[in-house]
Copies of this chain bind each other. A is one copy, B any other.
Amino acid sequence: MMSAHDAQELRPGRAGPLRLRDMGAFHVGGQALRLQGQPSTREVLAAGGEPVLLDPNGSYWVGQMYAQYFLPETPGRATPLQLWHGGGLTGACWETTPDGRPGWLQYFVRRGWDTYLCDAAERGRAGYAPRQLWGAPLSQTAEAVFARFRLGESLEGVALADAAQQAFAESQFPAEAFEALVRQLVPRWAHTDAVILDAYQALLERVAPSVVVCHSQGGMFGLTMAQRRPDRVRAVVALEPAAVPPPSQDDAAYAVPTLIILGDRIDGDVRWPAMRARIEAFAARHASVEILSLPDIGMRGNSHMLMMDRNQLDIADLVHDWLVRTLEG
């Protein structure tokens, strides 16, 4: 007799080998910049070593991004799919979940998509500019993330290892593995939106016209790029985009098929009701934009980290089916 676990494994995208015709990576976008007239500094480069005089003047590449590609041996889909992470995160958020389950990366590769796992400019393997050019980045506390990602009301005064005690009842987020999410967080800058968008544009121009699956801060980038380069973006799936493009003359013709997915507990949040209102206004302006509110179809308990939640592959099924209908329909 088949167990519930076996039945789950038999559903598409859950298990089985990942057979690739190719994989690899590249950096794209950005520009060469020169520093000059900056003072040299004395730095100890290895513990116990002698200080050396370091001259920062010279050339750097600034504003590039990183993309890692996984191309199934038997491609099932004609359109590449790009995964764009949110603020304070990297492409790692789409890989193995904090509690060790296969992520959306593995899911979409198994379902035949040529998948691009991206680190935005200044995040992860993309690298970032010298301090003399950009100054210092901002870091987010675990406590801020816990509340902002709608994992629970507050983590104040609670050890990270005990986060599950503070999680919302019936939350889909694996809060027992909250520490593993905190290990994924990276600093970010607050003034680099234009740099990040330019690098995404360079990526879109390099790869064939693509589906963009994007999350949170990345959602804003995906929707903006669909507006800026509709010839390179075949569809957008935006998981809880942190912002939507404001009304403008530019967006009057917005016609890229777009699915915006929202999780649970938005009503009680301090920020999300206003953000949802802006998303609804955006959808009202554009016939190609659909909103999928998961609680409205009976999926309860999803956090802001939809791609990590316990039911994330059920959500991936919805995304896959919507994409197939939209692109191949």
Q: A interface vs B, CB < 8 Å?
A: 17-28, 30, 32, 35, 43-47, 54-61, 64, 66, 68, 70, 73, 90-92, 95-96, 100, 102-103, 106, 119, 124-125, 127-131, 136-139, 141-144, 159-160, 179-180, 182-187, 190-191, 193-194, 243
- A185: which B residues are within 8 A, CB to CB? 60-61, 127
Q: Which residues of B contact A187 (CB under 8 A)?
A: 127-128, 130-131
Which applies to chain A's interface (DSSP): helix, strand, loop or mixed? mixed
Residues of the B chain whose Cβ atoms lie less than 8 Å from the Cβ of A92? 25, 27, 66, 125
Contact B191 A24 (CB under 8 A): no
Q: Once the chains bind, are B141 and A59 in contact (CB under 8 Å)?
A: yes
- The reply to whether B141 and A131 form a contact with Cβ atoms under 8 Å apart is no
> What chain B residues lie within 8 Å of A141 (beta carbons)?
35, 55-60
Given A191-B44, A193-B46, verify A17-B136 contact (CB < 8 Å): no
A24 to B43, CA, bound (A): 37
From B46, B70, B130, give the contact of A190 (CB < 8 A).
Answer: B46
Residues of chain B within 8 A (CB-CB) of A131 are 136-137, 139, 187
Closest to A96 in B: B24
Task: Identify which of B47, B56, B139 contacts A130 (C-beta below 8 A).
Answer: B139
The docked-state distance in angstroms from the alpha carbon of A136 to that of B130 is 9
Interface centre among A18, A28, A100, A139 (most CB of B within 10 A): A139
Q: Which B residue sits closest to A180, measured CB to CB?
A: B27
Partner of A119 from B96, B125, B190 at Cβ < 8 Å: B125
User: Which single residue of chain B is at the shortest CB-CB distance from A119?
Assistant: B125
Chain B residues with Cβ under 8 A from A57's Cβ?
141
B20, A59: Cβ atoms closer than 8 Å: no
Q: Which residues of B contact A182 (CB under 8 A)?
A: 32, 59-61
In the complex, what residues of B have CB within 8 A of residue A180's CB? 26-27
- Return 29 A-B CB contacts under 8 Å, by A number: A17-B19, A17-B20, A18-B19, A18-B20, A19-B19, A19-B20, A24-B103, A25-B92, A25-B96, A30-B183, A32-B160, A46-B190, A47-B191, A55-B141, A58-B142, A59-B141, A59-B160, A61-B160, A61-B183, A68-B95, A90-B125, A124-B124, A124-B125, A125-B125, A127-B184, A127-B185, A127-B186, A128-B187, A131-B136
